[in-house]
Structure 1
Amino acid sequence: MHYIDGNTVYLEPETVSSPVRHALEMIYRDHEKVFGLKPSSERADNSRQSSLHHGETDGRIACIHVRYAADLDECPDRPEAYAVMLGEDRFLHIVGRDDLGLVYGLLHYSRVFLGVDPLWFWAELSPAKRDRIEIADVPYVSVPSAVAYRGWFVNDEVCLIGWKTEYPPTAEVWQPVFEALLRLGGNMVVPGTDLPRNGIHHRLALDMGLYVTHHHAEPLGAEMFLRAFPGKTASYKEHPALFERLWMEAIERQKDERIVWVLSFRGQGDRPFWENDPEFDTPAKRGELISTVIEKQYNMVKARVEQPVCCMALYGELAELYKEGYIRLPEEIIKIWADNGYGEMVSRRHGNLNLRIPALPGPHEGGKHGLYYHVTFHDLQASNHLTMFPSPVELIKQELNDAFKARAKDYLLVNSGNILPHLHALDFTAEMWRNGDADTQRHLAGFIKRMYGEEQPDIVKLYEDYAACTIPYGAHEDERAGEEFYHHPARQIIGHWLQGQTCTHEQLIWATGDISFAEQVRWFQHCAEQAIPGWEALQQRGRTAAQKLSDENSRRLYIQMLVQIELHLTGCRGLASICNAYVDYCSGAYPQAFIQAARAVRHYSQGLEALRTAESGKWEHFYRADWLTNISNTIYHASTLRSFLRMHGDSPDMFFWYKEYLMPETEKHIYLENTHRNPLPDDRLAELLGERLVELGVLDSGRLV
């Protein structure tokens, strides 16, 4: 049996490109972690090769030879192909047809032989220490991935932005993102959203071998019009030359790079352009302008880039216009169809409008097609930004399978968000883009075994039951709530209430329908209270499972799963308390309403504390830039509400409720003001008041969620 050990030498290609250099550095780091020795490396030359295997007679492989494939190698003649084989020289050869072929070959060697998990950084999985590793699984010849262009849109990445103090984020943040993507077989990335152009994200992605593609709101990767030309109207009809100047600058800047060019025309700030240009008041006018702009962009790219890969995101309103026949596109452009943010391949919800138009190519539609798919989303309504995909993973499998059957498999861009909260879904979608299919149960069992070193049926069941606990807020399978459901609507309810509004809250109709504000509040109250028992049971099962694990695995379970359960449970409790406070307020039960608001503050604060607990070790400060779900903002709103309610009966001295409910009867008529006028803080007053009102039968203890 052949084997490698810490003394095995790595023979590098004569010329080492930037992507291969990055991959070699990953391998050298992996080698040292496994064997405890820094590896030796040499640049290829005949004399060195002849001496490396001299005297090796016990099966030890003296050299890992990394090289580009030759004509006689059994390596497929296609882009990204690689092979791993034992040669007659008793070298282990890793050969690739191109840079990415070598990168994938090296990462195959790392995973299969060195035992390094693709998600090692994000899951904090260290490879096992070894003295030697036997080599049996060779030769290996790669097969093409099911999807040609596949990768992540690192979008709404506020946690990555806030994790370290430097802005824009440095290589310390981006390198682990791109490495994980490559290890999962990805080859394409949108490296962040609207980051400063002096950041390293774009250059590092290219240097590591990835294709860079663009946000659909930033066609061709160009500067936003209003940022480049402040004070001017962002109208292509008024300023075509200025728009085209920005596009040309972007093309010239990237023409020699590995780019998947995104052609698009949306308005500033990722909105429909006609919101700033009301002249385009019909679908025909809008579609004609979009068609003209796309053709212009396409011709500009073709004039400066040989055989460019171009695509267009049919996102939101663009999909609707295209489906209705108002947009024409060149045949060569890959048409990118998008899900609605919740995993269903239908048009996304716009405010209260939810048309759910199917977003896949028709059976007779020609050309190339691809997908933009969300496993995480941010929409100020019910999305999952800090927590896992809220529907069963079977939904992802079904939607991607249906899309692939509809020939939308030339491109798959997965919205990866902040990576850390979404490891399972990202790992699953990567198997889909590699193989074209995946078994959800087998994948989950394998994923949990990788994370915890052995089969863990209790943890598998936690993941399987997670989606059953999320709030189903609509009639469709994908209409299940992420953690933003407990925060954005709660803040809207509080704001509407404290502004003295009693009419229907327009921004809540998407969830409740067009009913009175009081009924809207009761609808959210019912949703939250119905979900609490399920999350409580799941939390208890999670804690029980964690107690059976090692300290390391228990911490891993908390960071990957239990913190998310905490966010859901505390969010449900907080939202229910806000709604209960409103019901009590409307009936004039101000002390009870005050208690409920105080409990909302406590519940939401517990959610924030759960994030702080998860920020241990290298994750210190990971959630400090929680600007989107923004738990701190919800706490501020709930605290403001609590103070507002205390004004109703305890003002001006903040002493009346203490005297009325808490002061002993013997003291009420003889106390001196100079010894009894230090008001209790809101939290303490609410705690004592709640206990007393339950004793008096004024407050139902069952409503103190």
Structure 2
Amino acid sequence: MKGQVRVRIPEALTSPVEHAVRMLVRDLEAVLGTAPELVAGGQQAAELHIRYANEQDDIPQRPEAFGFRFPSDGTSLRMDIVGRDELGLVYGILEFSRKALGIQPFWFWADQAIAARSEIDIPCENYDAPAPKVRYRGWFVNDEVCLIGWKEPYPPSREVWEPVFEALLRCGGNMVIPGTDLPRDGIHYKLAAEMGLWVTHHHAEPLGAEMFLRAFPGRKPSYHEEPELFESLWREAIEEQKEMKVVWVLSFRGQGDKPFWIDDPSFDTPEKRGAMISKVIRKQYDMIASAVDNPVYCAALYGEISELYKGGYVDLPDDVIKVWADNGYGRMVSRRHGNLNLRVPALPAERDGGKHGVYYHVTFHDLQASNHLTMFPGPAAFLKQEIESAFAARADEYLLVNCGNIRPHVYQLDIIRELWSAGHIDADQHLSEFVSGYYGAHHAELEELYRSYSEAAIPYGPNADDLAGDEYYHHPARKIIGHWLQGKGDQPLERLFWAVGDVPFQEQVKGFEERLGQGMRKWEAWLQRCDEVVAAKLGTDDARRAADHLRFHGALHLSGCEGFYWLCRAYGEYREERYPQAFVFASESLWCYRKGLDVLRDAEHGKWDRFYRADWLTNIESTVYNVDTLRRFLRMHGDSPDFFLWYKEYLMPETEKYIYLENTHRNPLSDDELAIRLKRHFQETGAI
């Protein structure tokens, strides 16, 4: 094919196929330089046909099946993209774009450089796409603050959501939870359905219904006392979605994603709690069955519901997909709640009948040590082990992946793409294909950087998944500052037991300092290797891409690691009443954390302008504010009230100290200037 390609499309275009054709038009124009000509029906000759399957095509008899066929009229061949149904056509179009045009699934999010060509060569061999390993596979666009803050409209507009759903479809995904607790008048659910995706729901919002306390403010959120009100919300949700493709989530949690018995403490035994959850789920199940043909149901065995189910207290209908969750760090065990980390296996037992699935995190937000802005810290082999083991345990009907803000997580999301498609992965081969798909040169060195990224991560606990993400440098640090400034240094900080144990506060801080010191050395070494490739060897496009998708992550780790380390050192000096030195170390902390803000700003180029401005979860800016507050507090210890005393004691020339006139020497230095000059003085005198 070359020049202007003529494409025959179905006469009656459904919305999902129309979206896919629009993508194909854009892709052909990007590669061949000319938009294709679209023709519908008739007998006009066309090099490429997009059509639904007939009996002669012998396309597999399953949902979403597609293939390529090459019929001949005796003088010329054409290519047919043949789909069993509308999603089959969508996947066929996008697979053609990948195979023939080289458009990768994350072309938008990874800023793939699309290579222009004068013609494209297509092997004329019939092809049938293999069945995906997982029937319902998709993303939960969760903690999506970057997507929310990127553009002005709120809730996010079509402009934000279309690239998300397109990437999911290009990954072969068919299901989505489009955002977290967004206003109900947003475009997100409507557009997901318009593009052919199944929609599903957050486990805290069963059936996708309005939260009880939003609909009925001031009323007690107790199904036991207000069943009619709860059921009215469920009925309304069913009515709104009954014409859509929905994987209905059956669940019963309390308001704000917590156990319902926190609001209704009369349910004080596992028996009572399990009986209520079972009753509610059966009611939801029956309500859907009475209004929807052939509904698909699932129930999230998450948190307390998992524990009750494993204890035999929750009864689920046989055809409900039971969804098991990882701990937020990729291990298929129960998640940590504060300091409680039971790590109960979270996969179906042999006796568990029916269909099972998995809810999995490649990004997480838990105010402890999770990765939100940065890549998953574990190696590809770890993801392979966990997902393949889940499939081996029969949890392969459903796979929902917490994808966060997409852009920072494309490598791990591409690993999951391969797993939910094929059921297994050769991690080294996949990495080679991933790197060569997005970068033009120096593939071996880039592969080494992706592979060694996890080796630089800080292990903060004994388990393979106890690896620090970006939140490790910020949430614990801010907790330490709060505890310190509240004058509670004589007692341990309970909220940090999970990380450094139940030991005196100064030992908790020291425990972080030791881990961070080791982490600094590893991240410095990794970042140096990264810079040797990115800055010294790659061309302009590849260097920008590597800066955004490799260096960005290492630089955030290093700046956070250094900032937290110097914060801990500042506390050590403070305990020794060496307040000027503590002030200098707090300043070092502040300067390092500010580097993290610079890293975010550097990544906001071109279409990514302001992408990280809504960093409200890791919230580097909040950490900077907290450390600056601490630094001001420390300057009160000895330099107050005139903020001239440290200058006089440490920096003023000896010949001036006893003869200066206060009315000409009382302009205090700024915090930064004072810290810079004190640091130099203390280094020269060996005081730090």
Class of the TM-score when normalised by the shorter of the 2 chains: over 0.9
Pick the aligned partner of 2:69 from 52, 61, 85. 85
Q: Distance in 2 between matches of 1:92 and 1:445?
A: 29
Instruction: State the secondary structure of the residue aligned to 1:256.
Output: coil
Read off the aligned partner of 1:73 and give its amino acid letter: D
Q: Distance in 1 between matches of 2:121 and 2:520?
A: 51
Q: Distance in 2 between matches of 1:70 and 1:655?
A: 87
Give 1:620 shift: 0.7
Q: Distance in 1 between matches of 2:145 and 2:492?
A: 32
| Residues 356-435 of structure 1: pairs in structure 2 closer than 5 A | 356-435=343-422
Instruction: State the secondary structure of the residue aligned to 2:347.
Output: coil
Q: Distance in 2 between matches of 1:132 and 1:441?
A: 31
Read off the aligned partner of 2:667 and give its amino acid letter: N
Please name the residue that 2:506 is paired with: 518
| Residues 494-505 of structure 1: pairs in structure 2 closer than 5 A | 494-502=481-489, 503-505=491-493
Give a deviation string over 1:197-216, Cα, whole Å, max 9, x none: 11111011111111001011
Q: Distance in 2 between matches of 1:634 and 1:231?
A: 35
Please name the residue that 1:55 is paired with: none
Instruction: State the secondary structure of the residue aligned to 2:121.
Output: strand
Unmatched tracts of structure 2, length 5 or more: none
Please name the residue that 1:189 is paired with: 176
Please name the residue that 1:682 is paired with: 671
Q: Distance in 2 between matches of 1:225 and 1:501?
A: 39
Read off the aligned partner of 2:359 and give its amino acid letter: Y
| Residues 220-231 of structure 1: pairs in structure 2 closer than 5 A | 220-231=207-218
Q: Distance in 1 between matches of 2:332 and 2:476?
A: 25
| Residues 159-558 of structure 1: pairs in structure 2 closer than 5 A | 159-454=146-441, 456-502=443-489, 503-546=491-534, 547-558=536-547
Please name the residue that 1:9 is paired with: 6
Alignment of 1:72 with 2:56, yes or no, is yes
Q: Distance in 2 between matches of 1:445 and 1:14?
A: 41
| Residues 15-26 of structure 1: pairs in structure 2 closer than 5 A | 15-26=12-23
Read off the aligned partner of 1:507 and give its amino acid letter: R
Give a deviation string over 1:531-556, Cα, whole Å, max 9, x none: 10000001111110012000111110
Aligned positions, number: 683
Read off the aligned partner of 2:532 and give its amino acid letter: T
Please name the residue that 2:617 is paired with: 628
Please name the residue that 1:561 is paired with: 550
Q: Distance in 1 between matches of 2:349 and 2:140?
A: 26
Instruction: State the secondary structure of the residue aligned to 1:117.
Output: coil
Contact 2:441–2:538 (8 Å) recurs in 1: no
Read off the aligned partner of 1:532 and give its amino acid letter: M
Q: Distance in 2 between matches of 1:280 and 1:682?
A: 55
Read off the aligned partner of 2:481 and give its amino acid letter: I
Please name the residue that 1:642 is paired with: 631
Contact 2:327–2:334 (8 Å) recurs in 1: yes
Instruction: State the secondary structure of the residue aligned to 1:93.
Output: strand
Alignment of 1:37 with 2:34, yes or no, is yes
Q: Distance in 1 between matches of 2:493 and 2:227?
A: 40
Please name the residue that 1:56 is paired with: none
Instruction: State the secondary structure of the residue aligned to 2:202.
Output: coil
Contact 1:117–1:127 (8 Å) recurs in 2: no
Give a deviation string over 1:44-70, Cα, whole Å, max 9, x none: 12xx33xx2xxxxxxxxx421111111
Q: Distance in 2 between matches of 1:670 and 1:7?
A: 87
Contact 2:113–2:438 (8 Å) recurs in 1: no
Read off the aligned partner of 2:537 and give its amino acid letter: K
Please name the residue that 1:666 is paired with: 655
Aligned-residue sequence identity (percent) comes to 58
Please name the residue that 1:702 is paired with: none
Contact 2:584–2:678 (8 Å) recurs in 1: yes
Pick the aligned partner of 2:93 from 106, 116, 122. 106
Give 1:172 shift: 0.8
Instruction: State the secondary structure of the residue aligned to 1:335.
Output: strand
Contact 1:567–1:607 (8 Å) recurs in 2: yes
Read off the aligned partner of 1:146 and give its amino acid letter: K
Instruction: State the secondary structure of the residue aligned to 1:121.
Output: coil
Q: Distance in 2 between matches of 1:285 and 1:640?
A: 48
Q: Distance in 2 between matches of 1:356 and 1:505?
A: 23
Contact 2:442–2:538 (8 Å) recurs in 1: no
Read off the aligned partner of 2:561 and give its amino acid letter: C
Read off the aligned partner of 2:676 and give its amino acid letter: E
Instruction: State the secondary structure of the residue aligned to 1:173.
Output: helix
Instruction: State the secondary structure of the residue aligned to 1:377.
Output: coil
Please name the residue that 1:116 is paired with: 103
Contact 2:253–2:259 (8 Å) recurs in 1: yes
Give 1:697 shift: 1.6
Contact 1:388–1:421 (8 Å) recurs in 2: yes
Contact 1:654–1:679 (8 Å) recurs in 2: yes
Read off the aligned partner of 2:5 and give its amino acid letter: T
Give 1:363 shift: 1.4
Q: Distance in 1 between matches of 2:675 and 2:272?
A: 59
Q: Distance in 2 between matches of 1:474 and 1:282?
A: 33
Instruction: State the secondary structure of the residue aligned to 2:224.
Output: coil
Give 1:351 shift: 0.7
Contact 1:370–1:411 (8 Å) recurs in 2: yes
Instruction: State the secondary structure of the residue aligned to 1:122.
Output: coil
Give 1:137 shift: 5.0
Alignment of 1:589 with 2:586, yes or no, is no
With structure 1 as the length reference, what TM-score do the two structures score?
0.96
Contact 1:577–1:600 (8 Å) recurs in 2: yes
Q: Distance in 1 between matches of 2:648 and 2:264?
A: 61
Give 1:127 shift: 2.3
Alignment of 1:571 with 2:568, yes or no, is no
Structure 1 vs Structure 2 CA RMSD: 0.9
Higher mean alpha-carbon deviation, 121-130 vs 146-155, is at 121-130
- Runs of 4+ in structure 1 deviating by more than 4 angstroms, as ranges, are none
Contact 1:445–1:455 (8 Å) recurs in 2: no
Give 1:83 shift: 1.2
Contact 1:74–1:83 (8 Å) recurs in 2: no
Instruction: State the secondary structure of the residue aligned to 1:380.
Output: coil
Read off the aligned partner of 2:549 and give its amino acid letter: Q
Contact 1:74–1:141 (8 Å) recurs in 2: no
The 1:492/1:137 distance shift into structure 2, 3 A limit, reads farther
Give a deviation string over 1:257-314, Cα, whole Å, max 9, x none: 0100011111111111122221112211111111111111111111101110000000
Alignment of 1:616 with 2:600, yes or no, is no
Please name the residue that 1:703 is paired with: none
Instruction: State the secondary structure of the residue aligned to 1:135.
Output: coil
Read off the aligned partner of 1:433 and give its amino acid letter: W
With structure 2 as the length reference, what TM-score do the two structures score?
0.98
